[in-house]
Amino acid sequence: MDQLEDILNQDIDPTETREWMDSLDAVIQHDGTERAHFLLERMVDTTRRSGGYLPFDPTTAYVNTIPPAQEAKSPGDAAMEWRIRCLIRWNAMAMVVRANRKPGELGGHIASFASSATLYDVGFNHFWRAPSADHPGDLILHQGHSSPGIYARSFLEGRLAEDQLDLFRMEVVGKGRALSSYPHPWLMPDYWQVPTVSMGLGPIQAIYQAQFFKYLENRGLIPKSDRKIWCFMGDGECDEPESLGAISLAGREGLDNLIFVINCNLQRLDGPVRGNGKIIQELEGVFRGGGWNAIKLAWGSYWDPLLARDTKGVLRKLMMETLDGEYQACKAFGGAYTREHFFGKYPETREMVANLSDDDIWRLNRGGHDPHKVYAAYHAASHTKGMPTVILAKTVKGYGMGAAGESQNPTHQQKKLDEESVRHFRDRFQIPIGDDKLKDVPYYHPGKDSPEVQYMLERRRALGGFLPQRRRKAEAKLKTPELTAFEQITKGTGEREISTTMALVRGINLLLRDKQLGERIVPIVADEARTFGMEGMFRQIGIYAPFGQKYKPQDSDQLLYYREDQKGQVLQQGISEAGGMASWMAAATSYSISNQAMLPFFIYYSMFGFQRIGDLCWAAGDMRSRGFLVGGTSGRTTLNGEGLQHEDGHSHLMAGAIPNVKSYDPTFSYEVAVILQDGVRRMMQEQEDIYYYVTVMNENYAHPDMPKGCEEGIIKGMYPFKDGGKPKKGEPRVQLLGSGTILREVIAAAELLEKDFGVKSDIWSCPSFIELRRDGFDAERWNRLHPEAEQRVPYVTGLLDGRSGPAIAATDYVREYADQIRAFMPDGMRYTVLGTDGFGRSDTRAHLREFFEVDRYWIAHAALAALAKDGKVNAKDVSRAIKEYKLDQDKPNPLTV
Ligand SMILES: Cc1ncc(C[n+]2csc(CCOP(=O)(O)OP(=O)(O)O)c2C)c(N)n1
Ligand SMILES: [Mg+2]
């Protein structure tokens, strides 16, 4: 950039420059800007061919991208819309101020919506279509902390009552009538569609939602339409990697159904976003580089006459030179300050405003506050073909808050306005509330028959209905195949050794063949399909490619070649787990957003799931996503060679923290089948708002036939795998529990115990310690509350009750995972838990299991130690185990090495 600046600032022959500029002007006059563009490109090309190095400039002048002459004009009643906006601004402010006058400091934000009110209003009044018989509806992602403004609009429309506004952020006492702090479909399931408040998650979701709309259209599952996704975000928010990390995908796939509106109020929470630079320029460069149509909306109409007079470009130069920190100061300190410190920099610009009063200068508005300019930008964005659009709207943070916060660094957190500031706000927006009432900051509703409300309603009628609105269930009734349809994987494999990953992929393949569900399956990978043995799907159902496969693939002579297709079903998201997850969320909420229930499977390295993209997983729960997340190559000792960063021993704990996630760690193929079938039934047929996390592994082994009657136990999290028979009186007995591949070590440990120590075991397969824990705590809670009623027995307690001996659990996850059921052991049953606490490392499975002390020898040893504590065997027996099984007594705790 500096180099470019140097070039642009050295004019060795101004006369020659003038001649060239005059020629260009003549071309523009006679043949138009396109011709001028053509000539310039040719000149650039010629210069480059002659060896000239032209530094790339991704940005344009610091003025509006759309010149006044090309602005589409709004058909709306500007004065009416201004009044409506004033009412919305007032009620949004009142909601937050009132909430913060109650005891409890409920919080809320005024300044952000104050900066974006016009951006929302123009959309609501003129652009955003609700789903109706005629249109599938646009999807709007609101900036999370602007929610008061959205509620205030719904209040005027009559959708929300006054008492609800007073229940802003009071969802416990509000019991379903309250308004959530931010957009949360979990808390307001008929209203909000997409959770956006965790910065960055809105933008990345918007991109993949846009891609998914096109996917559904290209696959012929929904008709093609001009439906759009509008995503609002802050300029500060753009620093999150998720905000900008996927923009090149949108550019590459030409997602012209996507519009980003970035509210560039130049501030974030602590202060300026780019005090020493210009965020709008920076973002323009980034988005243009990513293949987007960037529309800068910097200046409002009051600037037009000044810019028209700026024939020498001095004002433009000044605009470009001025830093965001300085722009902020101008808005904070007012007209006289701006005259002095901005216009005063050059005689030409000082002169330009000589006839304007300080108030006039103060009124020189920013683009995002000018409804005409906003309309023109939205109009251009919605008519853009072949590329996504970003609108960079310059605004004032805390607009209208005056001394209480306008353009002031701490304004983001300003939520308590004093009486003076409230009066100022009322006067500025002309709210008909008398001085005597101001103290209470009352809401103001002009009445449902008022022209304002009638206008709003008419506008929404014309656009198909109210927004935001959320669909709870898809209309189509779907039926799930019975478990018998999964026979291929409920049956044992005999001698043949396969992994649970293979079992699951077979399960997906069976679903793909289902008449009703087949086309609704959405396999998603982040460049790991081959890792999970899914490459067969490339050929079979194709990889989604919006423009088809335009090249002959290198492996086209192979049966399973890399087939890309416009109708492809697999979403190959490249190496982006965040992208894969956002894509999965789009598919997983399609039942609501597009009335098309889809069943996505996102299969990825389990370590790079909940740990890496956990915040998206959390948002997916909030959003009532339905689908399967599959943590492949899971287990700290099962993915053996890959080492510390790859070996997952804790994702289940994270999954278990999300209330509506069902998480499973199956061992055998038939367990996979049962979990799959039940999940499909609950999510697709019953339309429950849950999603599944299933870990699968890459260790190959033989799988037994499905034991009779184990289905319910698998789903509940535990079932008897092998009964040791009724113990004789006094005979030592142990209860061995396990999951994942470590269940196989448990089974082997039972053999050792019997062979070497004559101790028999009952063996339990526990596909979900999480489900067991949830059930247990639920029963415990109920019992506490119903002390005199017949007490419920937690499921796991019921299974183990009456069994003798201590229980020993081992898994490929940290101890905490299996330890979750400790509270529900029957009285007197000792419980020992083994797990893989500590950093993973690379070695063979056998060595890793020995290292983490979860192999058969360590399990048998732990069982004997527990029996010794119970007085059922001697300490000597334990020592014998240590010796015979060659366990190193002085081995350091794996947690510490
Ligand atoms: C991931 C994440 N980190 C931090 C926050 C807290 N937070 C909420 S709003 C905000 C500042 C937002 O600034 P900007 O994006 O510029 O939006 P503005 O309010 O200025 O429109 C921050 C840091 C959050 N919501 N999410
Ligand atoms: Mg900001």
Q: DSSP of 710-749, one letter per residue?
A: -HHHHHHT-EEEE---PPPTT--EEEEEE-TTHHHHHHHH
Residue 8 in this model has a pLDDT that exceeds 80: no
Give the Å distance between the CA of 145 and the centre of ligand 2: 11
Reply yes or no on whether the pLDDT at 1 is more than 60.
no
Q: How far is the CA of 142 from the centre of ligand 1 (A)?
A: 13
For 5, 59, 248, 300, 836, the CA distances from 55, given in Å and listed in that order, are 10, 12, 21, 31, 54
* Interval between CA 236 and ligand 2 midpoint (Å): 5
Q: Give the ligand with the smallest distance to the CA of 618.
A: 1
What do you get for the CA distance between the two ends of the chain, in Å?
Answer: 49
Q: What is the 3-state secondary structure (H, E, C) of 550-611?
A: CCCCCCCCCCCCCCEECCCCEEECCCCHHHHHHHHHHHHCHHHHCCCCCEEEEEEEHHHCHH
Can you give the pLDDT at residue 594?
Answer: 98
Residue 627: predicted pLDDT: 98
pLDDT of residue 104: 85
- Cβ atoms of 708 and 511 within 8 Å: the answer is no
CB 573 within 8 A of CB 549: no
Q: Residue 9 pLDDT more than 80?
A: no
Nearest ligand to residue 270 Cα:
1
Atom of ligand 1 nearest to the CA of 201: 1
The pick from 260, 268, 408 for probing ligand 1's pocket by mutation, whose C-beta has the most ligand atoms within 8 angstroms, reads 268
Q: What is the whole-number distance in angstroms between the Cα of residue 567 and the centre of ligand 2?
A: 40
Is pLDDT of 4 > 80? no
Mean pLDDT of 106-112: 92
For the Cβ of 412 lying below 6 angstroms from any atom of ligand 1, the answer is: yes
In the predicted model, is pLDDT for residue 584 greater than 90?
A: yes
268 lines ligand 1 (CB under 6 A): yes
Q: How many CB atoms lie within 10 A of CB 602?
A: 27
- Edge to edge, the sheet with strand 599-605 lists 571-572, 521-525, 599-605, 628-632, 691-695, 661-664
CA angle 228, 117, 212 (to 5 degrees): 20
Cα 237 to ligand 1 centroid, rounded to whole Å: 6
Q: Reduced to 3 states, what is the DSSP secondary structure of residue 630? A: strand
| Ligand number, closest to the Cα atom of 398 | 1
Ligand 1 atom nearest to 412, measured from its CA: 19
The alpha carbon of 239 and the centre of ligand 1 are apart by a number of angstroms equal to: 10
DSSP state of 843: S
Q: Is 250 in the pocket of ligand 1 (CB under 6 A)?
A: no
Between the alpha carbon of residue 762 and those of residues 243, 688, 738, the distances in Å are 52, 35, 11
For 641-662, what is each residue's pLDDT tens digit? 999 999 999 999 999 999 999 9
Share of the chain above pLDDT 70, in %: 99
* C-alpha 652 to ligand 1 mean position (Å): 29
Query: In the predicted model, is pLDDT for residue 549 greater than 90?
Result: yes
The string of pLDDT tens digits covering residues 476-507 is 999 999 999 999 999 999 999 999 999 999 99
pLDDT digits (tens, 9 = 90+) for 686-709: 999 999 999 999 999 999 999 999
Q: Which ligand is nearest to the Cα of residue 116, counting in written order?
A: 1
Residue 263 CB–ligand 1 contact under 6 Å: yes
The response to whether residue 405 sits with its C-beta less than 6 Å from ligand 1 reads no
For residue 190, is pLDDT > 90? yes
509 CB near ligand 1 (under 6 Å): no
Whose C-alpha lies nearest to ligand 1, atom 3? 199
148 C-alpha vs ligand 1 centroid, how far in Å?
15
Residue 147 CB–ligand 1 contact under 6 Å: no
Number of H helices, E strands in the chain: 38, 20
Q: 542: CA distance to ligand 2 center in Å?
A: 42
Q: Does residue 582 register a pLDDT over 90?
A: yes
- By most ligand atoms within 8 Å of CB, the mutation choice from 142, 146, 233, 269 for ligand 1 is 269
Helix (H, G, I), strand (E, B) or coil at 226: coil
Q: Is 394 in the pocket of ligand 1 (CB under 6 A)?
A: no
What pLDDT does 713 receive? 98
Averaged over 388-412, what is the pLDDT?
92
β strands within 754-882, DSSP E? 760-765, 807-810, 831-834
Could you give the CA distance from residue 616 to residue 620 in angstroms, rounded to a whole number? Answer: 6
Q: Sorting pLDDT into bands at 50, 70 and 90, what band is 404?
A: confident
What pLDDT, in 10s, does the model give residues 198-239? 999 999 999 999 999 999 999 999 999 999 999 999 999 999
d(CA 417, CA 404): 7
Ligand 1 centroid–CA 270 distance in Å is 10
- Give tens-digit pLDDT for 172-187: 999 999 999 999 999 9
**Mean pLDDT within 572-598:** 98
The pLDDT tens digits for 310-355 are: 999 999 999 999 999 999 999 999 999 999 999 999 999 999 999 9
Q: State if residue 274 touches ligand 1 by the CB under 6 angstroms criterion.
A: no
pLDDT at 2: 61
Closest Cα partner for 418 from 135, 733, 93?
93
CA of 273, closest atom in ligand 1: 16
Q: What is the pLDDT of residues 601-635, one digit of tens each?
A: 999 999 999 999 999 999 999 999 999 999 999 99
CB 836 within 8 A of CB 813: yes
Nearest ligand, measured from the Cα of 238: 1
Model pTM? 0.96
* Residue 302 Cα to ligand 2 middle (Å): 23
pLDDT of amino acid 53? 81
What's the gap in Å between 218 CA and the centre of ligand 2?
A: 36
Q: How far lies 704's CA from each of 504, 671, 749, in Å?
A: 16, 10, 18
Which residue's alpha carbon is at the smallest distance from atom 20 of ligand 1? 268
Residue 11 has pLDDT above 90, yes or no: no
Q: 603: CA distance to ligand 1 center in Å?
A: 31
pLDDT recorded at residue 487: 96
Q: Is the minimum distance from the CB of 234 to ligand 1 under 6 angstroms?
A: yes
Q: Is 791 left (phi over 0), alpha (psi -120 to 50) or beta?
A: beta
Residue 414 CA to ligand 1 center (angstroms) comes to 14
Q: Which atom of ligand 1 is nearest to the CA of 115?
A: 21
Q: Which ligand is nearest to the CA of 115?
A: 1
* Cα 115 to ligand 2 centre (Å): 9
Backbone φ/ψ region at 452: left (φ over 0), alpha (ψ -120 to 50), beta: alpha
Question: What does the pLDDT average to over 28-57?
Answer: 90
Q: From the CB of residue 555, how many other CB atoms can be counted at a distance below 10 Å?
A: 14
Q: Does 199 contact ligand 1 (Cβ within 6 A)?
A: yes
Beta-carbon-side half-sphere exposure of residue 851 (alpha carbons within 13 Å): 21
Q: How far is CA 37 from CA 40, 48, 66, 67, 508, in A?
A: 5, 16, 16, 16, 52
Q: Is the CB of 145 under 6 A from ligand 1?
A: yes
CB half-sphere exposure, 158, CA atoms < 13 A: 13
368 CB less than 6 Å from ligand 1?
no
The residue type found at 215 is Y
- Regarding the beta carbon of 89 and ligand 1, being less than 6 Å apart is answered no
Is residue 142 lining ligand 1, measured as CB closer than 6 Å? no
Q: Tell me if 338 CB under 6 Å of ligand 1.
A: no
**Closest ligand 1 atom to 238 CA:** 15
CA angle 509, 513, 519 (to 5 degrees): 95
> In the structure, what pLDDT confidence band is assigned to residue 590 with cuts at 50, 70 and 90?
very high
**Residue 407 CB–ligand 1 contact under 6 Å:** no
The DSSP secondary-structure symbol of 813 reads S
| Cβ atoms of residues 808 and 815 within 8 Å | no
Distance 406 CA to ligand 2 centre (A): 13
Name residues with Cβ closer than 5 Å to ligand 2, which is an ion. 234-236, 265, 267
Residue owning the nearest CA to atom 23 of ligand 1: 269
Closest ligand to C-alpha of residue 195 is 1
Q: What is the atom index within ligand 1 of the atom nearest the CA of 111? A: 19
Residue 837 in contact with ligand 1 by CB distance below 6 A: no
**Residue 268 CA, ligand 1 centroid: distance in Å:** 6
The mean pLDDT value of the chain amounts to 96
The tokens describing 543, both together, are 């990889």
Q: Is 662 in the pocket of ligand 1 (CB under 6 A)?
A: no
136-171 burial, b for 16+ CB within 10 Å, e for fewer?
Answer: bbbbbbbbbbbbbbbbbbbbbbebbeeebbbbbbbb
